[in-house]
Amino acid sequence: MTLDTHIKSLITLGEKMSNFNDPILSGIIEQAYVHNNWFEQAEVKHCLSAWSKQLSAKNLIEWTSRYNFVKTENIRSIGLILAGNIPLVGLHDLISVIITNNKALVKLSSKDSILMKYVIETLYQIDEDYKHRIEIIERIQNPDAIIATGSNNSSRYFETYFGKYPNIIRKNRNSIALLDGKETKVQLEGLASDVFRYYGLGCRNITKVYVPKNYNLETIFKAFESFEHVMGNNKYKNNYDYNCTLLLMNKVPFLTNNFIMLKEDETLHAPTATVHIERYSDNKDLQKKVNALDTKKIQCISSDNIDIKDAINLGQCQQPNLWDYADNIDTIAFLLAL
């Protein structure tokens, strides 16, 4: 299969993923929610639409033009251990493997089996050759390389069993936002999207916000108002209730608008339905705090008004391009170098 063949197939896949009038796709979206109640239909449709936009001819050509795809008959088997914290989080790894003309041995996440199977079966329909390039398996044995995504705990397991193979093993990461207090209503609504999209379960979701020393946190709550509907999801509500109870029992100070909690805390990771807040005195102090962070634990830094290296705009965290790699590890370069 040539690169052009793969690109044409992925364009077709993108078109099918956004056709919500298709009764088959509508049924898949419903099944995904029944299987995993975190996958609300609105969130799944947002994910499918975002992927449809990325799988355009323009984006695919721009992405692949950055590399030298040397034609080779030496097809390698790449084990993919996929995560399932948000819809189709493993899709980028899958298309990276097939577009480099390798074979994907896919270990699906039990949390995201419905949507990923739909994508794989759709590729089979687009071109039957993908039946020889993508295989869903329960156990990965003797791969030529491995790409695994999971938690800090599961990564130790992956390293033990797959460390002898060329690998990309991803761990927990978090994203942060930097505010200077001059953000517009639209910019803060972008922050809200970065916090609440997929109920905050992705590594690209904002879990910590840096604000000036005298910043009024009610400004953040006001920007979050349009996301009150998250409490309609029982899983989110249960997490909110549980984490709120823990804070109350431990007499930890926090603020809440009854659907998300703001807690002043220096740690990066915040429990579901919680955002950590850290204050800074001036730009020099903020720069010092950011420089002290472990970059291996940061996925995105988001800010509109503060000049920080590699920062993206508020509201863009959950809209990565094909060339915005998880953990900043170039998956295509890794696969081409095998």
Could you read off the pLDDT of 222-280 as tens digits, one per residue? 999 999 999 999 999 999 999 999 999 999 999 999 999 999 999 999 999 999 999 99
Nearest to 180 by CA among 302, 292, 291: 302
Query: If you search the block for the tokens 């156990």, which residue do you land on?
Result: 139
Is the pTM here over 0.85, yes or no? yes
Nearest to 105 by CA among 71, 72, 142, 59: 142
CA distance 68 to 50: 27
CA distance 269 to 176: 10
**Are 86 and 202 in contact, with CB atoms under 8 Å apart?**
yes
**Are 150 and 81 in contact, with CB atoms under 8 Å apart?**
yes
Nearest to 280 by CA among 182, 212, 207: 212
Q: Which residues of the chain have pLDDT under 70?
A: 71-72
**Are 219 and 207 in contact, with CB atoms under 8 Å apart?**
no
Helix, strand, coil % over all residues of the chain, rounded to 5: 45, 15, 35
CA distance 252 to 238: 19
Domains by residue range for the chain, with CATH: 3-171 (3.40.605.10), 174-302 (3.40.309.10)
Per-residue CA distances from 313 to 29, 273, 316 (Å) = 30, 22, 6
Q: What pLDDT, on the 0 to 100 scale, is given for residue 70? A: 77
Q: Per residue in 28-52, pLDDT tens?
A: 999 999 999 999 999 999 999 999 9
| Cα 228 off chain centre by | 22
Query: If you search the block for the tokens 């030496």, which residue do you land on?
Result: 74
